[in-house]
Amino acid sequence: MRRAQGAYRHRGDRRMTVRWHETALLDPGALHDYEHAILAQASTGDVALGFARLGPCALLGAFDDPDRSLRRSFVDGHLPIVRRRTGGGSLYVDPGTTLMVAAIPRALAPRHTLTEIIVMVGELIAETFRHQDIPATFTAPNDITDDGRKRGSVFAVLVDDRILIEAVLLFAVDIESLMKTIKLPLEKLSAAGLLAAAQRFAPIGGTEPSAVAARLYPAIVAALATRLTMDVALQAPPATRIGPPPAACQGAPRPDVSAFLKTPGGVLYLDIRLDGARVRAARIVGGVQCARATDLEHLADALTGVRLDELEAAILAAAPDDTLGFSRGDLGYLARLCVERHVLGERLGIPGDAERVTLYSPRRDQGFADLLADVGALLLPYCAKPAWCKWRHRDGCPECGQCAVGEAYRLGRERGLPVTTITRYEHLHMVLAQLRAAGIRTFLGVCCTEFFLKRDYAFIEAGLGALFIDIGGDTCYTLRAEESAYRGQFTAEATLDPRLLDRVLRLGDSR
Ligand code: SF4
Ligand code: SF4
Protein backbone atom coordinates (compact mmCIF):
# COMPACT_ATOMS: atom_id res chain seq x y z
CA MET A 1 0.00 0.00 0.00
CA ARG A 2 2.55 2.54 -1.19
CA ARG A 3 1.67 6.20 -1.15
CA ALA A 4 0.83 7.50 -4.63
CA GLN A 5 3.08 10.32 -5.72
CA GLY A 6 1.67 13.76 -6.47
CA ALA A 7 -2.06 14.28 -6.80
CA TYR A 8 -4.82 12.83 -4.66
CA ARG A 9 -6.39 9.54 -5.74
CA HIS A 10 -9.40 10.00 -7.96
CA ARG A 11 -12.24 7.77 -9.01
CA GLY A 12 -13.89 9.24 -12.09
CA ASP A 13 -14.09 12.97 -11.47
CA ARG A 14 -14.12 12.85 -7.66
CA ARG A 15 -11.38 12.52 -5.07
CA MET A 16 -11.36 9.30 -3.08
CA THR A 17 -12.09 9.71 0.60
CA VAL A 18 -11.58 8.04 3.96
CA ARG A 19 -15.10 8.18 5.41
CA TRP A 20 -15.00 7.66 9.14
CA HIS A 21 -17.15 7.82 12.25
CA GLU A 22 -17.25 7.07 15.95
CA THR A 23 -19.79 4.71 17.47
CA ALA A 24 -20.52 5.42 21.11
CA LEU A 25 -21.51 1.89 22.08
CA LEU A 26 -22.36 -1.03 19.85
CA ASP A 27 -24.45 -3.97 21.02
CA PRO A 28 -22.18 -7.03 20.52
CA GLY A 29 -24.98 -8.73 18.59
CA ALA A 30 -24.87 -5.93 16.02
CA LEU A 31 -21.19 -6.44 15.14
CA HIS A 32 -21.87 -8.61 12.10
CA ASP A 33 -24.25 -6.03 10.68
CA TYR A 34 -21.77 -3.26 11.50
CA GLU A 35 -18.95 -5.03 9.64
CA HIS A 36 -21.31 -5.51 6.71
CA ALA A 37 -22.20 -1.79 6.70
CA ILE A 38 -18.52 -0.76 6.73
CA LEU A 39 -17.78 -3.14 3.84
CA ALA A 40 -20.75 -1.76 1.91
CA GLN A 41 -19.50 1.81 2.38
CA ALA A 42 -16.17 0.83 0.83
CA SER A 43 -17.75 -0.69 -2.27
CA THR A 44 -17.71 2.70 -4.00
CA GLY A 45 -13.92 2.81 -3.94
CA ASP A 46 -13.67 4.94 -0.80
CA VAL A 47 -12.21 3.74 2.47
CA ALA A 48 -14.71 3.29 5.32
CA LEU A 49 -13.54 3.32 8.91
CA GLY A 50 -15.29 3.27 12.25
CA PHE A 51 -14.24 3.21 15.89
CA ALA A 52 -16.71 1.10 17.84
CA ARG A 53 -16.93 0.29 21.51
CA LEU A 54 -18.71 -2.98 22.19
CA GLY A 55 -20.67 -3.97 25.26
CA PRO A 56 -18.94 -6.75 27.27
CA CYS A 57 -18.63 -9.91 25.18
CA ALA A 58 -16.38 -12.79 24.18
CA LEU A 59 -15.16 -11.81 20.72
CA LEU A 60 -14.28 -14.96 18.78
CA GLY A 61 -11.77 -14.99 15.94
CA ALA A 62 -13.24 -16.12 12.61
CA PHE A 63 -11.61 -19.56 12.75
CA ASP A 64 -11.54 -20.11 16.49
CA ASP A 65 -13.27 -22.91 18.38
CA PRO A 66 -15.22 -21.45 21.33
CA ASP A 67 -14.94 -24.71 23.26
CA ARG A 68 -11.16 -24.54 23.07
CA SER A 69 -10.59 -20.83 23.47
CA LEU A 70 -13.30 -19.76 25.91
CA ARG A 71 -14.07 -20.84 29.44
CA ARG A 72 -17.60 -21.90 28.65
CA SER A 73 -18.32 -22.50 32.33
CA PHE A 74 -17.91 -18.77 32.93
CA VAL A 75 -18.98 -17.32 29.57
CA ASP A 76 -22.25 -19.21 29.03
CA GLY A 77 -25.01 -17.28 30.70
CA HIS A 78 -22.67 -14.36 31.53
CA LEU A 79 -21.47 -12.96 28.21
CA PRO A 80 -22.67 -12.95 24.62
CA ILE A 81 -20.31 -14.76 22.25
CA VAL A 82 -19.79 -12.87 19.00
CA ARG A 83 -17.75 -14.03 16.04
CA ARG A 84 -15.91 -11.36 14.07
CA ARG A 85 -15.09 -11.73 10.37
CA THR A 86 -11.34 -11.53 10.87
CA GLY A 87 -9.29 -14.40 12.26
CA GLY A 88 -6.83 -14.38 15.14
CA GLY A 89 -7.22 -15.06 18.83
CA SER A 90 -10.45 -14.73 20.73
CA LEU A 91 -10.73 -11.82 23.14
CA TYR A 92 -12.71 -10.42 26.00
CA VAL A 93 -13.86 -6.93 25.05
CA ASP A 94 -15.88 -4.29 26.86
CA PRO A 95 -16.32 -0.53 26.44
CA GLY A 96 -12.70 -0.07 27.58
CA THR A 97 -11.66 -1.59 24.26
CA THR A 98 -12.06 0.19 20.95
CA LEU A 99 -12.55 -1.96 17.88
CA MET A 100 -11.38 -0.10 14.79
CA VAL A 101 -13.15 -1.58 11.77
CA ALA A 102 -11.97 -0.45 8.33
CA ALA A 103 -12.67 -1.56 4.78
CA ILE A 104 -10.15 -0.69 2.08
CA PRO A 105 -10.54 -1.43 -1.63
CA ARG A 106 -8.24 -4.30 -2.56
CA ALA A 107 -7.18 -2.27 -5.61
CA LEU A 108 -5.20 0.00 -3.27
CA ALA A 109 -3.01 -2.95 -2.24
CA PRO A 110 -3.54 -5.53 -4.97
CA ARG A 111 -0.44 -7.62 -4.35
CA HIS A 112 -0.05 -7.26 -0.59
CA THR A 113 -0.14 -10.50 1.35
CA LEU A 114 -2.12 -10.79 4.58
CA THR A 115 1.12 -10.41 6.52
CA GLU A 116 2.10 -7.27 4.60
CA ILE A 117 -1.34 -5.73 5.15
CA ILE A 118 -1.17 -6.39 8.89
CA VAL A 119 2.38 -5.05 9.16
CA MET A 120 1.39 -1.91 7.22
CA VAL A 121 -1.64 -1.20 9.42
CA GLY A 122 0.12 -2.16 12.65
CA GLU A 123 3.10 0.08 11.90
CA LEU A 124 0.82 2.95 10.91
CA ILE A 125 -1.12 2.70 14.18
CA ALA A 126 2.06 2.37 16.26
CA GLU A 127 3.58 5.39 14.52
CA THR A 128 0.41 7.40 15.19
CA PHE A 129 0.57 6.41 18.86
CA ARG A 130 4.15 7.68 19.02
CA HIS A 131 3.15 10.99 17.43
CA GLN A 132 0.61 11.29 20.24
CA ASP A 133 3.36 10.65 22.83
CA ILE A 134 2.17 7.10 23.46
CA PRO A 135 5.20 4.79 23.16
CA ALA A 136 4.42 1.88 20.83
CA THR A 137 5.97 -0.45 18.30
CA PHE A 138 4.51 -3.04 15.97
CA THR A 139 5.47 -6.55 17.08
CA ALA A 140 5.02 -9.43 14.64
CA PRO A 141 2.88 -11.18 13.91
CA ASN A 142 0.09 -8.71 14.78
CA ASP A 143 0.50 -6.83 18.05
CA ILE A 144 1.11 -3.22 18.99
CA THR A 145 3.23 -3.17 22.12
CA ASP A 146 5.22 -1.00 24.45
CA ASP A 147 8.28 -2.69 25.88
CA GLY A 148 6.67 -6.09 25.37
CA ARG A 149 3.34 -5.06 26.90
CA LYS A 150 0.32 -5.21 24.65
CA ARG A 151 -1.51 -2.05 23.57
CA GLY A 152 -3.53 -3.57 20.76
CA SER A 153 -3.74 -6.16 17.97
CA VAL A 154 -4.47 -6.07 14.25
CA PHE A 155 -6.53 -8.57 12.24
CA ALA A 156 -7.45 -8.63 8.55
CA VAL A 157 -9.28 -10.67 5.94
CA LEU A 158 -10.03 -10.27 2.23
CA VAL A 159 -13.74 -9.92 1.43
CA ASP A 160 -14.41 -9.91 -2.33
CA ASP A 161 -12.67 -6.78 -3.67
CA ARG A 162 -12.06 -5.25 -0.25
CA ILE A 163 -9.76 -5.74 2.71
CA LEU A 164 -11.48 -5.79 6.08
CA ILE A 165 -9.19 -4.65 8.87
CA GLU A 166 -10.06 -4.90 12.55
CA ALA A 167 -7.76 -3.47 15.19
CA VAL A 168 -8.31 -3.81 18.90
CA LEU A 169 -7.08 -0.74 20.79
CA LEU A 170 -6.81 -1.30 24.53
CA PHE A 171 -7.80 1.92 26.28
CA ALA A 172 -8.46 0.08 29.56
CA VAL A 173 -8.19 -3.62 30.40
CA ASP A 174 -10.41 -5.54 32.82
CA ILE A 175 -7.84 -8.22 33.60
CA GLU A 176 -10.05 -10.36 35.79
CA SER A 177 -12.88 -10.59 33.24
CA LEU A 178 -10.36 -11.27 30.48
CA MET A 179 -8.80 -14.14 32.41
CA LYS A 180 -12.16 -15.61 33.31
CA THR A 181 -13.28 -15.47 29.67
CA ILE A 182 -10.24 -16.72 27.78
CA LYS A 183 -9.03 -20.25 28.42
CA LEU A 184 -5.37 -19.81 27.69
CA PRO A 185 -4.11 -16.59 29.22
CA LEU A 186 -0.52 -16.99 30.35
CA GLU A 187 -1.23 -16.45 34.02
CA LYS A 188 -3.50 -18.14 36.50
CA LEU A 189 -6.44 -16.46 38.16
CA SER A 190 -4.69 -15.92 41.46
CA ALA A 191 -3.75 -12.64 43.13
CA ALA A 192 -0.18 -12.99 41.81
CA GLY A 193 -1.49 -14.15 38.43
CA LEU A 194 -3.69 -11.08 38.07
CA LEU A 195 -0.73 -8.88 38.88
CA ALA A 196 1.45 -10.70 36.37
CA ALA A 197 -1.27 -10.49 33.71
CA ALA A 198 -1.64 -6.76 34.31
CA GLN A 199 2.06 -6.44 33.54
CA ARG A 200 1.46 -7.88 30.07
CA PHE A 201 -0.81 -5.01 29.02
CA ALA A 202 -0.12 -1.32 28.56
CA PRO A 203 -3.55 0.35 28.24
CA ILE A 204 -3.43 3.58 26.26
CA GLY A 205 -6.30 5.39 27.97
CA GLY A 206 -4.52 6.48 31.16
CA THR A 207 -6.78 8.40 33.52
CA GLU A 208 -8.65 10.12 30.70
CA PRO A 209 -9.49 7.53 28.04
CA SER A 210 -12.09 9.77 26.35
CA ALA A 211 -9.58 12.58 25.89
CA VAL A 212 -6.97 10.16 24.51
CA ALA A 213 -9.54 8.68 22.11
CA ALA A 214 -10.57 12.15 20.96
CA ARG A 215 -6.96 12.82 19.91
CA LEU A 216 -6.13 9.35 18.66
CA TYR A 217 -9.09 8.56 16.41
CA PRO A 218 -8.68 11.53 14.03
CA ALA A 219 -4.89 11.08 14.11
CA ILE A 220 -5.20 7.46 12.91
CA VAL A 221 -7.65 8.51 10.20
CA ALA A 222 -5.36 11.35 9.09
CA ALA A 223 -2.33 9.03 8.99
CA LEU A 224 -4.23 6.51 6.86
CA ALA A 225 -5.55 9.21 4.52
CA THR A 226 -2.04 10.65 4.13
CA ARG A 227 -0.64 7.20 3.38
CA LEU A 228 -3.33 6.59 0.77
CA THR A 229 -3.36 10.22 -0.48
CA MET A 230 -7.08 10.56 0.12
CA ASP A 231 -9.45 13.15 1.53
CA VAL A 232 -11.10 12.71 4.92
CA ALA A 233 -14.82 13.01 5.72
CA LEU A 234 -16.46 12.55 9.12
CA GLN A 235 -19.93 11.06 8.89
CA ALA A 236 -22.64 9.49 11.03
CA PRO A 237 -22.22 5.83 12.05
CA PRO A 238 -24.32 3.32 10.10
CA ALA A 239 -27.59 2.03 11.52
CA THR A 240 -27.24 -1.59 12.63
CA ARG A 241 -29.50 -4.46 13.59
CA ILE A 242 -28.84 -6.97 16.36
CA GLY A 243 -28.44 -10.46 14.93
CA PRO A 244 -28.81 -13.94 16.46
CA PRO A 245 -25.80 -15.60 18.13
CA PRO A 246 -23.66 -17.41 15.54
CA ALA A 247 -24.47 -21.10 15.12
CA ALA A 248 -20.75 -21.93 15.18
CA CYS A 249 -20.74 -21.15 18.91
CA GLN A 250 -22.73 -24.29 19.66
CA GLY A 251 -19.65 -26.56 19.48
CA ALA A 252 -18.92 -29.47 17.13
CA PRO A 253 -19.30 -33.27 17.21
CA ARG A 254 -16.55 -35.15 19.03
CA PRO A 255 -13.75 -36.17 16.64
CA ASP A 256 -12.36 -39.71 16.40
CA VAL A 257 -8.84 -38.34 16.32
CA SER A 258 -7.41 -34.86 16.69
CA ALA A 259 -4.14 -32.98 16.97
CA PHE A 260 -2.97 -29.50 17.86
CA LEU A 261 0.10 -27.46 17.02
CA LYS A 262 1.21 -24.19 18.53
CA THR A 263 2.60 -21.78 15.92
CA PRO A 264 3.66 -18.12 16.11
CA GLY A 265 0.30 -17.32 14.47
CA GLY A 266 -1.77 -19.19 17.09
CA VAL A 267 -2.75 -22.74 18.02
CA LEU A 268 -4.03 -24.85 15.11
CA TYR A 269 -6.37 -27.80 15.71
CA LEU A 270 -7.26 -30.60 13.32
CA ASP A 271 -10.30 -32.74 14.19
CA ILE A 272 -11.10 -35.80 12.14
CA ARG A 273 -14.08 -38.13 12.07
CA LEU A 274 -13.24 -41.41 10.45
CA ASP A 275 -14.91 -43.88 8.19
CA GLY A 276 -12.56 -46.86 8.50
CA ALA A 277 -9.13 -45.64 7.41
CA ARG A 278 -10.55 -42.68 5.51
CA VAL A 279 -11.57 -39.19 6.55
CA ARG A 280 -15.33 -38.86 6.82
CA ALA A 281 -15.16 -35.20 7.87
CA ALA A 282 -12.36 -32.86 8.89
CA ARG A 283 -12.35 -29.59 10.75
CA ILE A 284 -9.44 -27.16 11.04
CA VAL A 285 -9.81 -24.39 13.60
CA GLY A 286 -7.74 -22.11 15.79
CA GLY A 287 -6.98 -18.56 16.81
CA VAL A 288 -5.17 -18.00 13.53
CA GLN A 289 -5.49 -15.65 10.56
CA CYS A 290 -5.98 -16.60 6.90
CA ALA A 291 -6.47 -14.25 3.96
CA ARG A 292 -9.94 -15.57 3.12
CA ALA A 293 -12.80 -16.52 5.42
CA THR A 294 -13.30 -19.85 3.66
CA ASP A 295 -9.63 -20.94 3.54
CA LEU A 296 -9.74 -23.46 6.39
CA GLU A 297 -13.19 -24.71 5.47
CA HIS A 298 -12.04 -25.43 1.90
CA LEU A 299 -8.93 -27.12 3.21
CA ALA A 300 -11.02 -29.33 5.49
CA ASP A 301 -13.36 -30.19 2.59
CA ALA A 302 -10.35 -31.24 0.50
CA LEU A 303 -9.55 -33.89 3.12
CA THR A 304 -12.89 -35.68 2.91
CA GLY A 305 -12.43 -39.24 1.66
CA VAL A 306 -8.64 -39.09 1.94
CA ARG A 307 -6.87 -42.15 3.38
CA LEU A 308 -5.08 -41.41 6.65
CA ASP A 309 -1.73 -42.44 5.23
CA GLU A 310 -2.18 -39.77 2.55
CA LEU A 311 -3.42 -37.07 4.91
CA GLU A 312 -0.18 -35.08 5.09
CA ALA A 313 0.22 -35.01 1.31
CA ALA A 314 -3.42 -34.01 0.88
CA ILE A 315 -3.19 -31.16 3.35
CA LEU A 316 0.06 -29.91 1.80
CA ALA A 317 -1.53 -29.94 -1.65
CA ALA A 318 -4.61 -27.95 -0.59
CA ALA A 319 -3.15 -25.64 2.11
CA PRO A 320 -3.85 -21.91 1.73
CA ASP A 321 -0.78 -19.91 0.76
CA ASP A 322 -1.65 -16.59 2.41
CA THR A 323 -1.69 -16.98 6.19
CA LEU A 324 -0.23 -15.17 9.19
CA GLY A 325 2.36 -16.81 11.44
CA PHE A 326 1.89 -20.38 10.24
CA SER A 327 2.88 -22.14 7.07
CA ARG A 328 1.90 -24.93 4.74
CA GLY A 329 4.60 -26.98 6.51
CA ASP A 330 2.87 -26.40 9.87
CA LEU A 331 -0.39 -27.71 8.45
CA GLY A 332 1.42 -30.75 7.04
CA TYR A 333 2.98 -31.43 10.43
CA LEU A 334 -0.42 -31.05 12.10
CA ALA A 335 -1.71 -33.79 9.78
CA ARG A 336 1.26 -36.00 10.68
CA LEU A 337 0.56 -35.50 14.40
CA CYS A 338 -3.02 -36.57 13.81
CA VAL A 339 -1.97 -39.74 11.99
CA GLU A 340 0.59 -40.46 14.73
CA ARG A 341 -2.18 -40.22 17.33
CA HIS A 342 -4.36 -42.58 15.34
CA VAL A 343 -1.56 -45.16 15.12
CA LEU A 344 -0.87 -44.80 18.85
CA GLY A 345 -4.58 -45.32 19.58
CA GLU A 346 -4.54 -48.58 17.64
CA ARG A 347 -1.46 -49.76 19.50
CA LEU A 348 -2.98 -48.82 22.86
CA GLY A 349 -6.09 -50.76 21.93
CA ILE A 350 -8.44 -47.91 22.89
CA PRO A 351 -8.28 -45.14 20.25
CA GLY A 352 -9.87 -42.55 22.56
CA ASP A 353 -7.00 -42.92 25.04
CA ALA A 354 -4.49 -41.64 22.48
CA GLU A 355 -6.31 -38.29 22.60
CA ARG A 356 -4.79 -37.87 26.05
CA VAL A 357 -1.23 -38.43 24.82
CA THR A 358 0.72 -35.68 23.06
CA LEU A 359 4.15 -35.80 21.50
CA TYR A 360 6.73 -33.07 21.32
CA SER A 361 9.62 -33.52 18.92
CA PRO A 362 11.96 -30.49 18.85
CA ARG A 363 12.96 -31.05 15.21
CA ARG A 364 9.64 -32.59 14.18
CA ASP A 365 11.45 -35.75 13.15
CA GLN A 366 10.28 -38.21 15.83
CA GLY A 367 6.96 -39.95 16.12
CA PHE A 368 5.44 -41.70 19.13
CA ALA A 369 7.39 -44.91 18.49
CA ASP A 370 10.78 -43.13 18.34
CA LEU A 371 10.07 -41.11 21.47
CA LEU A 372 8.69 -44.09 23.42
CA ALA A 373 11.85 -46.06 22.71
CA ASP A 374 13.97 -43.20 24.01
CA VAL A 375 12.19 -42.23 27.27
CA GLY A 376 14.80 -41.61 29.97
CA ALA A 377 12.82 -39.98 32.80
CA LEU A 378 9.32 -39.62 34.22
CA LEU A 379 8.03 -36.23 35.42
CA LEU A 380 4.83 -35.97 37.48
CA PRO A 381 2.86 -32.91 38.63
CA TYR A 382 2.42 -32.12 42.31
CA CYS A 383 -1.28 -31.43 41.71
CA ALA A 384 -2.00 -35.15 41.23
CA LYS A 385 -0.90 -35.86 44.80
CA PRO A 386 -3.65 -35.72 47.45
CA ALA A 387 -4.03 -32.35 49.15
CA TRP A 388 -3.46 -34.03 52.54
CA CYS A 389 -0.25 -35.81 51.51
CA LYS A 390 2.87 -34.33 53.08
CA TRP A 391 4.67 -35.06 49.80
CA ARG A 392 2.32 -32.88 47.75
CA HIS A 393 4.66 -29.91 47.53
CA ARG A 394 7.84 -31.98 47.71
CA ASP A 395 9.69 -34.10 45.21
CA GLY A 396 9.52 -37.82 45.96
CA CYS A 397 6.98 -40.38 47.12
CA PRO A 398 7.40 -43.40 49.44
CA GLU A 399 4.66 -45.27 47.49
CA CYS A 400 2.34 -45.57 50.48
CA GLY A 401 -0.33 -47.03 48.22
CA GLN A 402 -2.94 -44.36 48.84
CA CYS A 403 -2.90 -42.60 45.47
CA ALA A 404 -2.15 -43.05 41.77
CA VAL A 405 1.04 -41.02 41.99
CA GLY A 406 2.56 -43.78 44.10
CA GLU A 407 1.63 -46.26 41.38
CA ALA A 408 3.24 -43.98 38.77
CA TYR A 409 6.42 -43.86 40.86
CA ARG A 410 6.41 -47.65 41.01
CA LEU A 411 5.93 -48.00 37.24
CA GLY A 412 8.80 -45.60 36.56
CA ARG A 413 11.17 -46.97 39.17
CA GLU A 414 10.71 -50.60 38.11
CA ARG A 415 11.95 -49.55 34.67
CA GLY A 416 14.93 -47.74 36.15
CA LEU A 417 13.57 -44.32 35.18
CA PRO A 418 14.34 -41.38 37.46
CA VAL A 419 10.96 -40.06 38.66
CA THR A 420 10.50 -36.43 39.73
CA THR A 421 7.52 -34.53 41.12
CA ILE A 422 7.51 -31.06 39.57
CA THR A 423 6.55 -28.69 42.35
CA ARG A 424 6.63 -25.34 40.54
CA TYR A 425 7.63 -23.79 37.24
CA GLU A 426 11.20 -22.89 38.26
CA HIS A 427 11.64 -26.46 39.44
CA LEU A 428 10.64 -27.71 35.98
CA HIS A 429 13.32 -25.52 34.39
CA MET A 430 15.92 -26.90 36.75
CA VAL A 431 14.89 -30.53 36.20
CA LEU A 432 14.88 -30.16 32.41
CA ALA A 433 18.40 -28.70 32.55
CA GLN A 434 19.52 -31.60 34.75
CA LEU A 435 18.03 -34.17 32.37
CA ARG A 436 19.80 -32.55 29.47
CA ALA A 437 23.09 -32.45 31.37
CA ALA A 438 22.68 -36.15 32.17
CA GLY A 439 22.40 -36.95 28.46
CA ILE A 440 18.68 -37.79 28.59
CA ARG A 441 17.05 -36.85 25.29
CA THR A 442 13.39 -37.71 25.95
CA PHE A 443 11.09 -37.73 28.97
CA LEU A 444 7.56 -38.85 29.69
CA GLY A 445 5.61 -36.14 31.48
CA VAL A 446 2.18 -35.99 33.04
CA CYS A 447 0.53 -32.56 32.99
CA CYS A 448 -2.57 -30.75 31.79
CA THR A 449 -2.79 -29.74 28.12
CA GLU A 450 -3.17 -26.09 29.16
CA PHE A 451 0.23 -26.23 30.84
CA PHE A 452 1.83 -27.73 27.75
CA LEU A 453 0.30 -25.05 25.51
CA LYS A 454 1.15 -22.13 27.77
CA ARG A 455 4.60 -23.12 28.86
CA ASP A 456 5.82 -24.80 25.70
CA TYR A 457 8.84 -22.49 25.59
CA ALA A 458 10.26 -24.32 28.62
CA PHE A 459 10.33 -27.51 26.54
CA ILE A 460 11.52 -25.70 23.40
CA GLU A 461 14.36 -24.15 25.40
CA ALA A 462 15.36 -27.51 26.87
CA GLY A 463 15.45 -29.08 23.40
CA LEU A 464 14.27 -32.43 24.78
CA GLY A 465 11.77 -34.71 23.10
CA ALA A 466 8.73 -35.51 25.21
CA LEU A 467 5.53 -37.47 25.52
CA PHE A 468 2.82 -35.93 27.66
CA ILE A 469 -0.09 -37.72 29.25
CA ASP A 470 -2.95 -35.35 30.02
CA ILE A 471 -4.32 -35.30 33.56
CA GLY A 472 -8.01 -35.19 34.33
CA GLY A 473 -10.09 -33.79 37.17
CA ASP A 474 -9.80 -30.27 38.54
CA THR A 475 -6.78 -28.41 37.23
CA CYS A 476 -5.34 -25.02 38.11
CA TYR A 477 -7.08 -23.73 35.02
CA THR A 478 -10.61 -24.85 35.75
CA LEU A 479 -12.51 -21.86 36.96
CA ARG A 480 -13.78 -23.22 40.23
CA ALA A 481 -10.35 -24.29 41.35
CA GLU A 482 -8.91 -20.96 40.29
CA GLU A 483 -11.42 -19.03 42.31
CA SER A 484 -10.41 -20.96 45.40
CA ALA A 485 -6.77 -20.38 44.39
CA TYR A 486 -7.55 -16.67 44.36
CA ARG A 487 -8.64 -17.00 47.99
CA GLY A 488 -5.47 -18.90 48.81
CA GLN A 489 -7.36 -22.17 49.39
CA PHE A 490 -6.36 -24.21 46.34
CA THR A 491 -6.94 -27.85 47.18
CA ALA A 492 -7.98 -29.22 43.80
CA GLU A 493 -6.57 -32.60 42.86
CA ALA A 494 -5.90 -33.58 39.29
CA THR A 495 -6.36 -37.20 38.28
CA LEU A 496 -3.46 -39.23 37.01
CA ASP A 497 -4.48 -42.36 35.10
CA PRO A 498 -1.94 -45.08 36.07
CA ARG A 499 -3.60 -47.57 33.71
CA LEU A 500 -2.86 -45.33 30.70
CA LEU A 501 0.63 -44.56 31.98
CA ASP A 502 1.28 -48.30 32.33
CA ARG A 503 0.07 -49.03 28.81
CA VAL A 504 2.17 -46.23 27.32
CA LEU A 505 5.27 -47.40 29.20
CA ARG A 506 4.64 -50.99 28.06
CA LEU A 507 4.67 -49.86 24.42
CA GLY A 508 8.16 -48.50 25.10
CA ASP A 509 9.19 -51.78 26.81
CA SER A 510 8.35 -53.77 23.72
CA ARG A 511 10.81 -51.85 21.57
S1 SF4 B 1 1.43 -42.64 47.19
FE2 SF4 B 1 2.93 -41.00 47.49
S3 SF4 B 1 1.92 -39.16 46.74
FE4 SF4 B 1 0.32 -40.70 47.03
S5 SF4 B 1 -0.44 -40.34 49.08
FE6 SF4 B 1 1.18 -41.87 49.26
S7 SF4 B 1 3.03 -40.70 49.67
FE8 SF4 B 1 1.50 -39.26 48.92
S1 SF4 C 1 -3.22 -28.46 36.79
FE2 SF4 C 1 -1.73 -28.30 35.14
S3 SF4 C 1 -0.64 -26.40 35.52
FE4 SF4 C 1 -1.76 -26.88 37.40
S5 SF4 C 1 -0.23 -27.96 38.63
FE6 SF4 C 1 -1.39 -29.50 37.52
S7 SF4 C 1 -0.23 -29.88 35.64
FE8 SF4 C 1 0.53 -27.98 36.54
Task: Tell me if 135 sits within 8 A of 144, measured CB to CB.
Answer: no
Q: Report the CATH number at residue 287.
A: 3.30.390.50
Please name the amino acid found at residue 114: L
Is 140 part of any domain? yes
The answer to whether residue 78 sits within a structural domain is yes
DSSP assignment of 270-302, as one string?
Answer: EEEEEETTEEEEEEEEES-EESBTTHHHHHHHH
Question: What's the gap in Å between 397 CA and the centre of ligand 2?
Answer: 18
Which domain-ending residue is among 297, 318, 350? 350
Pocket residues for ligand 2 (CB within 6 Å)? 381, 383, 447-448, 451, 471, 475-476, 494
Q: Which residue has the higher pLDDT, 220 or 3?
A: 220
* 58-84 pLDDT per residue, tens: 999 999 999 999 988 889 999 999 999
Task: Ligand 1, residue 399: give the atom nearest the CA.
Answer: 1
Q: By alpha-carbon position, which residue is closest to atom 6 of ligand 2? A: 383
Q: Does some domain include residue 1?
A: no
Domain contains 72 = yes
Asked if the structure places residue 325 within a domain, the reply is yes
Residue 483: pLDDT band by 50, 70, 90 thresholds? very low
CA distances from residue 403 to 175, 205, 353, 394, 498 in whole angstroms, order as listed: 37, 51, 21, 15, 10
Examine the domain organization and report whether 70 and 192 are in the same domain.
Answer: yes
Q: Is 245 within the bounds of a domain?
A: no
Model confidence over 454-477: pLDDT tens digits?
A: 778 888 888 999 999 998 766 776
E strands, 400-471, in order: 419-422, 442-447, 465-470
- Any residues with Cβ below 6 Å from ligand 1, and which? 385-386, 389, 391, 397-400, 402-403, 405-406
Q: Are residues 345 and 474 in the same domain?
A: no
Task: Report the pLDDT averaged over residues 382-396.
Answer: 92
**By alpha-carbon position, which residue is closest to atom 2 of ligand 2?**
448
Last residue of a domain, one of 350, 373, 391: 350
- Condensed to tens digits (0 to 9), the pLDDT of residues 182-239 reads 986 555 555 666 666 778 899 998 888 899 999 999 999 999 999 999 999 999 999 8
Place 359 in a pLDDT band, splitting at 50, 70 and 90: very high
Q: Are residues 470 and 343 in the same domain?
A: no
Task: Please tell me the predicted confidence (pLDDT) of residue 206.
Answer: 84
The verdict on 200 and 261 lying in the same domain is no
User: What is the pLDDT at residue 241?
Assistant: 81
Reported ipTM: the value is: 0.98
In a domain, residue 247? The reply is: no
Residue to substitute in 446, 475, 478 for testing ligand 2 pocket (most ligand atoms within 8 angstroms of CB):
475
β pairing state of 57-60 and 91-93: antiparallel
Total structural domains within the chain: 3
Q: Which residue has the higher pLDDT, 187 or 25?
A: 25
Q: Which of 71, 70, 78, 177 is nearest to 479 (CA)?
A: 71
Tell whether 372 and 227 lie within a shared domain.
Answer: no
Of the listed ranges 26-35, 95-104, 240-249, 397-406, the least confidently predicted one is 240-249
Residue 457 lies in a domain: yes
- At 122-157, the pLDDT tens digits run 999 999 999 999 999 999 999 999 999 999 999 999
Check whether residue 206 and residue 277 sit in a common domain.
Answer: no
Compute, in angstroms, the gap from residue 426 CA to the centroid of ligand 2: 13
Q: Let me know whether 333 and 382 are in one domain.
A: no
Last residue of a domain, one of 327, 350, 373: 350
Q: What is the CATH number of the domain that holds 37?
A: 3.30.930.10
Residues 345, 360 share a domain: no
Beta bridge partners of 267: 262
Apex CA 421: angle with CA 471 and CA 488, to 5°?
75
Ligand 2 atom at minimal distance to the Cα of residue 474: 1
Distance between Cα 405 and ligand 1 center (Å): 6
Q: What is the DSSP letter of 382?
A: G
Distance CA 440, CA 402 (A): 30
Same domain, 365 and 346: no
Mean pLDDT of 368-380: 96
Same domain, 196 and 65: yes
pLDDT band at 485 (very low <50, low <70, confident <90, very high): very low
What local confidence, expressed as pLDDT, does residue 373 receive?
94
Alpha helices in 293-356 (DSSP H): 295-302, 311-318, 328-348, 351-354
Atom of ligand 2 lying closest to residue 450 CA: 2
**Residue-number span of the structural domain to which 369 is assigned:** 356-511
Residue 332 sits in the same domain as residue 224: no
**Judgement on whether residues 231 and 275 belong to the same structural domain of the protein:** no
